[in-house]
Amino acid sequence: MIGTALTRTLREAGHTVRHLSRTAGFHDGVNAYAWNIEQGTLDERALENVEHIVHLAGAGIADQRWTDARIKILIDSRCASARLLLEKVRSSGTVIKSFVSAAGINYYGAETSDHIYSETDPPGPDTIARISVAWEEAVDEWASHCRVVKLRTPIVLSPNGGALQKLAVPVRWGLGSPLGSGEQWVPWIHINDLVRIYQQAILQEDMEGAYNVNTGFDVTNADLMRTIAQVLGKAYFLPRIPSLLLKAILGESSSVLLEGSRASNTRLMATDLAFEFPTLKEALINLLDR
């Protein structure tokens, strides 16, 4: 979802973009080169004359229950891919200016608190934090080769896929309700603003290290669901979905839905970024009122 939107915007700005894919080919004006993370292979032609690498690889966090095997996949799909890229860049002698990687805003752990987390806070103690820490450690290995930017990303609101489309389905049927207590905080960002942040991270040479890339106007889950209902003109009156039910269905991965704290975007805003969609209602009207 992010890669598609970012590719379109970069090409419109005159950049040449290449993709790495399980299957080589030519799609929508972009050359895709084959790589296989498990086998450690990558078509090094993909690296010729490349100046910047954007790393978005990773299995879906909430796509399946978190068994030990699934957690290993979540970590390996992020870490092994970053390390494979670094190995091939070094062996090919390619000079890269920046390595810009997605990262998780749940680096601080899945908990609901009054604390507003900043990039100087330590990681949390739970599974989602462990995944995020391992991910960033692999990305940080690039620091000896080029400038590294890690974008700690919250829920991304997009008209094409992602969490918003899943949340909006029950609301459209008049079945919208808070998840669990509804008091958990939900940092968020509109896909257009996230793409602009990636563009800035690629080209702005003084951007380096970790950034929380939420708008700063975090909302509770109850506020999120209520606002979706308002924008869609749907009723919003049902009781909360019990936490125990979500835990029974999703297991430990339910923590990313049932818990959440606010995050400070002060470091991001110091880069002179201006959001196109700073408030939730503005973003949802743009995305849902179609």
Segment-wise mean pLDDT, segments of 10 residues, the chain, 290 residues = 95 96 91 94 94 95 91 95 96 95 96 96 96 97 97 95 89 92 97 98 97 97 96 90 91 92 97 95 90
Q: Is 247 helix (H, G, I), strand (E, B) or coil?
A: helix
- Alpha carbon distance 65, 253 (integer Å): 6
- Alpha carbon distance 144, 130 (integer Å): 23
> Which among 88, 86, 91, 94 has a CA at the least distance from the CA of 144?
86
The number of helix segments (H) and strand segments (E) in the chain equals 10, 14
What percentage of the chain exceeds 70 in pLDDT?
A: 100
Q: What is the pLDDT of residue 29?
A: 87
Whole-prediction pTM value? Answer: 0.95
Q: What is the pLDDT of residue 86?
A: 97
C-alpha atoms less than 13 angstroms from C-alpha of 96 in its C-beta half-sphere: 26
Q: Is 129 helix (H, G, I), strand (E, B) or coil?
A: helix
- Alpha carbon distance 160, 128 (integer Å): 25
Q: What is the pLDDT of residue 32?
A: 96
Q: What is the pLDDT of residue 290?
A: 58
CATH number at residue 233: 3.40.50.720
Give the domain extent around 12: 2-288
C-alpha atoms less than 13 angstroms from C-alpha of 37 in its C-beta half-sphere: 19
How many structural domains comprise the chain? 1
Structure tokens belonging to residue 102: 């997605």
